């Protein structure tokens, strides 16, 4: 399930075959041409959710990697808490104005997990209504945050990521950094309970500082149909330059899994248990955030 | 038990084929096909009765032949050929009402099979990735074939309540495509330059026409009434389908796309409803595990294989300068990501 799907290449369609020329990077150029050709011909696979494995592995993740390795210098802790196979639910804090934290988590799991796990994220419905963003999200393996989709993914053994704070988390002012917002209605807990997969509380430090929101231009946001319109020290003052994130140092810690297979079958219908579990996950993330913040020497190093 | 089957809509492509197939089935004694115009092709061993399901004559046909099984194929997807949208609506909705009224009065009826559509689930960006039969539309369809299908299903459910002794099966088909059938989708994908909505790319699911016919037969002879989704396994992105067909994808900004739709519609070539535009934007998936489990129906063609069969039969002349990719058809899993 974790192997990247190999798309059989017809050797006689190799554009560089038999030319005999060799130059540095020939392999890469040939690979890129083959990739381009497959895209143009439509000979690639998507799964039922619209996840385009090849595009994600060969284009999206490599293009995020410099940001991950060089810009944010992400340090991953507790990756062993993520199982190598089978369904699991990653629940993390959301921040940073633009949801880069979820993408960085996706890179962390693809590059640094021994099984190179693919993270399937659950996104807000607004994401899927937007042009370009919605299609890109589906291609990258994300789907709508609703119980049927979450349960379908988890039941088929996928690693699912959810950011229950949603827009309240990403769009909160800088003064409230690392303070967790409300955790939705706890729908993620019921999905995990029904499919009996572990919940992995995940804490991300560093994302809060990439675009510090000093104010929210609510009128402008309403005009543009956006949940918030951020005013940061650089945006919108510097125009496109203001969209460059500040190079904060990131830590992603995958916490100890909370097992859900210890509960009985009807547990998902017990609201009290759901609230308790939701709180437990929230508290775990909040405390890990404080711990990571205490250990942090500076925002940028 | 020798059965007498009434098939509606036999002058249309699928209805005619189905009547021929049912007539050659060993358990079937007699097949009566009805439509308003004579079928363009020979119905084989099936008889043709020229009758309009929109008027009470149909009750006499059912009574005279002592029909025990009704297969309602006459819910049509396109007004082109039906004589406009109002005629289409009348055939679909009034026709179904009359047919069901006749069935309700006929004590000989034991079974009803209705061709419905996955379009009853509507289209919206808030849709789950896959619809199961027990889910309802997030946004109910408001126009065209999709709305007709919702109304037809409503009447069929009403009938099922009033005649609990009749086994009622509804099949919700994802877009039917194949070498022979002519649908709005086949016409759309045959355009040399295919207009799409910029920034959106729907997930398409296709049912091969042969699989559709098989599904109706399985529903007719299997003993598991209910509502079932029917589709080939897997999905194809709209842009991917256009690329595989070697057509030119022309993404238009949303306002331009609606104007284009009106123009295309005015010329009567393809009837696009706003539902269809939304479908091309967001797509839809239906879960087909129920029919697999209860009726043992596994489609022979995946969505991708269906599309390739359609391409093979339509030598459109490729616009883009590459050949149709011919890698083996993938085995995909319904009910989750591929493993």
Domain ranges across chain A:
52-210+245-295
CB A274 within 8 A of CB A100: no
Query: What value does the mean pLDDT take over residues B85-97?
Result: 89
B67: tokens are: 């029909």
DSSP state of B131: B
Picking from A8, A48, A120, the nearest residue to B234 by CB comes out as: A48
Structure confidence at residue B294 as a pLDDT band (50, 70, 90): very high
A40 to chain B: which residues are within 8 Å by CB? 243, 320, 322
CB neighbourhood size of B204 (10 A): 25
CB contact under 8 A, A43 and B327: yes
A143: tokens are: 């789907």
Identify the CA nearest to B271 among candidates B283, B282, B262: B262
CB contact under 8 A, A42 and B240: yes
CB contact under 8 A, B283 and A47: no
Structure confidence at residue B275 as a pLDDT band (50, 70, 90): confident
Identify the CA nearest to B276 among candidates B337, B215, B338, B189: B189
Residue B330 above 70 pLDDT? no
Peptide bond into A207 cis (omega under 30): no
- A:B CB pairs within 8 Å: 124
Write out pLDDT tens, residues B158-183. Answer: 999 999 999 999 999 999 999 989 88
CB contact under 8 A, B242 and A42: yes
Picking from A43, A129, A152, the nearest residue to B125 by CB comes out as: A129
Shortest distance between the Cα of A275 and any Cα of chain B, in A, equals 24
Query: What value does the mean pLDDT take over residues A59-85?
Result: 95
Structure confidence at residue B81 as a pLDDT band (50, 70, 90): low
Chain A contacts in chain B segment 38-67 (CB below 8 A): none
Instruction: Give the integer Cα–Cα distance in Å for A206 and A260.
Output: 30
Residue B156 above 60 pLDDT? yes
Residue A253 above 90 pLDDT? yes
A36 touches chain B (CB under 8 A): no
Name the closest residue on chain A to residue B241, using Cα atoms.
A42
Query: What value does the mean pLDDT take over residues A144-156?
Result: 95
Shortest distance between the Cα of A173 and any Cα of chain B, in A, equals 28
Q: Helices H, strands E: what count in chain A? A: 11, 9
Residues with Cβ within 8 Å of B149's Cβ and at least 6 positions away in sequence, in order, are: B75, B92, B116, B117, B119, B120, B141
CB contact under 8 A, B199 and A135: yes
Instruction: Give the integer Cα–Cα distance in Å for A5 and A53.
Output: 7
A4 touches chain B (CB under 8 A): no
Which range (A73-77, A152-156, A236-240, B291-295) has the least confidence? A236-240
pLDDT, residue B324, reads: 52
Query: What value does the mean pLDDT take over residues A181-203?
Result: 91
A136 to chain B: which residues are within 8 Å by CB? none
Residue A198 above 90 pLDDT? yes
pLDDT, residue B144, reads: 83
B331 touches chain A (CB under 8 A): no
Query: What does pTM read for this prediction?
Result: 0.88
Shortest distance between the Cα of B69 and any Cα of chain A, in A, equals 35
pLDDT, residue A5, reads: 52
Looking at per-residue pLDDT, the higher value among B203 and A263 belongs to: B203
- Beta strands of A176-218 (E only): which ranges? 199-205, 215-216
- Write out the DSSP string of A144-181: ESSHHHHHHHHHTT-EEEE-TTTHHHHT--GGGTT---
Q: How far is CA B57 from CA B51, B87, B98, B102, B175, in A?
A: 7, 19, 9, 9, 32
Roughly what angle, to the nearest 10 degrees, separates helices B274-282 and B254-266?
130
Residue B95 above 50 pLDDT? yes
Identify the CA nearest to A163 among candidates A139, A129, A187: A187
What is the homologous superfamily of the domain A52-210+245-295 according to CATH?
Glycerol-3-phosphate (1)-acyltransferase (3.40.1130.10)
Residue B251's φ and ψ, nearest 5 degrees, are -75, 130
Identify the CA nearest to A157 among candidates B339, B128, B280, B105: B339
Picking from A10, A144, A152, the nearest residue to B126 by CB comes out as: A144
pLDDT, residue A1, reads: 41
Residue A10 above 80 pLDDT? no
Structure confidence at residue A67 as a pLDDT band (50, 70, 90): very high
Looking at per-residue pLDDT, the higher value among B246 and B300 belongs to: B300
Domains of chain B: residue spans and CATH:
3-174+207-230 (3.40.50.720)
DSSP state of A70: I
Instruction: Give the integer Cα–Cα distance in Å for B205 and B177.
Output: 10
Residue B240's φ and ψ, nearest 5 degrees, are -70, -40
Name the closest residue on chain A to residue B134, using Cα atoms.
A148
% chain A with pLDDT above 70: 93
Instruction: Give the integer Cα–Cα distance in Å for B188 and B165.
Output: 42
pLDDT, residue A13, reads: 45
pLDDT, residue A23, reads: 76
Structure confidence at residue B80 as a pLDDT band (50, 70, 90): low
Query: What value does the mean pLDDT take over residues B78-82?
Result: 69
Residue A12 above 60 pLDDT? no
């Amino acid at each position: 399930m974790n192997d990247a799907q190999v798309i059989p290449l017809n050797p006689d369609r190799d554009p560089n075959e038999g030319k005999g020329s060799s130059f540095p990077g020939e392999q890469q150029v040939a690979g890129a041409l083959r990739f381009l050709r497959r895209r143009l011909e439509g000979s690639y696979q998507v799964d039922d959710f619209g996840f385009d494995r090849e595009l994600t592995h060969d284009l999206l993740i490599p293009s995020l990697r410099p940001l991950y390795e060089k810009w944010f210098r992400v340090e991953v802790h507790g990756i062993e808490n993520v199982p190598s196979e089978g369904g699991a639910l990653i629940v993390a804090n959301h921040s940073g104005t633009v949801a880069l934290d979820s993408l960085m988590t996706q890179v962390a799991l693809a590059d640094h997990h021994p099984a190179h796990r693919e993270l399937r994220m659950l996104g807000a419905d607004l994401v899927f209504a937007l042009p370009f963003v919605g299609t890109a999200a589906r291609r990258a393996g994300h789907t709508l945050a609703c119980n049927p989709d979450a349960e379908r993914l988890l039941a088929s053994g996928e690693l699912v990521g959810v950011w229950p704070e949603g827009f309240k988390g990403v769009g909160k002012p800088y003064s409230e950094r690392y303070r967790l917002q409300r955790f939705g209605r706890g729908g993620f807990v019921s999905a995990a309970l029904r499919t009996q997969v572990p919940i992995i509380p995940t804490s991300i430090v560093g994302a809060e500082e990439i675009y510090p929101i000093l104010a929210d231009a609510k009128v402008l946001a309403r005009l543009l149909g956006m949940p918030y319109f951020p005013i940061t020290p650089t945006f919108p003052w510097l125009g496109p330059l203001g969209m460059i994130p500040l190079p904060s140092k990131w830590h992603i810690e995958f916490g100890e899994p909370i097992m859900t297979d210890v509960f009985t079958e009807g547990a998902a219908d017990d609201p009290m248990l759901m609230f308790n579990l939701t709180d437990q996950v929230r508290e775990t993330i909040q405390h890990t955030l404080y711990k990571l913040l205490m250990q942090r020497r500076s925002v940028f190093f | 038990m020798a059965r007498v089957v009434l098939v509606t809509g036999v002058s249309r492509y699928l209805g005619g084929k189905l009547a021929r197939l049912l007539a050659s089935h060993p358990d079937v004694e007699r097949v009566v096909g009805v439509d308003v115009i004579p079928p363009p092709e020979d119905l084989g061993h099936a008889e043709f009765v020229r009758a309009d399901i929109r008027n009470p004559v149909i009750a006499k046909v059912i009574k005279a032949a002592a029909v025990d099984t009704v297969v309602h194929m006459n819910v049509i997807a396109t007004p082109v050929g039906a004589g406009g949208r109002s005629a289409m609506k009348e055939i679909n909705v009034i026709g179904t009402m009359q047919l069901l009224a006749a069935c309700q009065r006929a004590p000989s009826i034991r079974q009803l099979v209705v061709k419905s559509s996955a379009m009853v689930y509507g289209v919206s960006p808030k849709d789950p990735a896959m619809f199961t039969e027990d889910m309802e539309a997030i946004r109910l369809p408001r126009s065209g074939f999709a709305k007709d299908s919702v109304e037809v299903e409503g009447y069929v459910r009403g009938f099922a309540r009033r005649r609990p002794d009749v086994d009622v099966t509804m099949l919700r088909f994802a877009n039917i495509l194949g070498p022979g059938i002519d649908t709005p989708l086949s016409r759309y994908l045959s355009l040399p330059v295919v207009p799409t909505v910029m920034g959106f790319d729907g997930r398409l699911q296709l049912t091969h026409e042969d699989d559709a016919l098989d599904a109706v037969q399985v529903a007719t002879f299997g003993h598991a009434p209910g509502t079932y989704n029917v589709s080939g396994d897997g999905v194809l992105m709209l842009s991917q389908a256009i690329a595989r067909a070697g057509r030119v994808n022309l993404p238009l900004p949303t306002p331009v796309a609606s104007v284009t739709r009106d123009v295309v519609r005015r010329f009567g070539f393809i009837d696009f409803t706003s539902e269809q535009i939304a479908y091309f934007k967001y797509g839809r998936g239906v879960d087909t595990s129920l029919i697999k489990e209860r009726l043992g129906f596994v489609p022979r063609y995946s969505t991708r294989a269906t599309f390739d069969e359609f391409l093979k039969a339509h030598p459109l002349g490729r616009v883009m300068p590459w050949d149709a990719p011919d890698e083996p058809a993938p085995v995909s899993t319904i009910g989750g990501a591929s493993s």
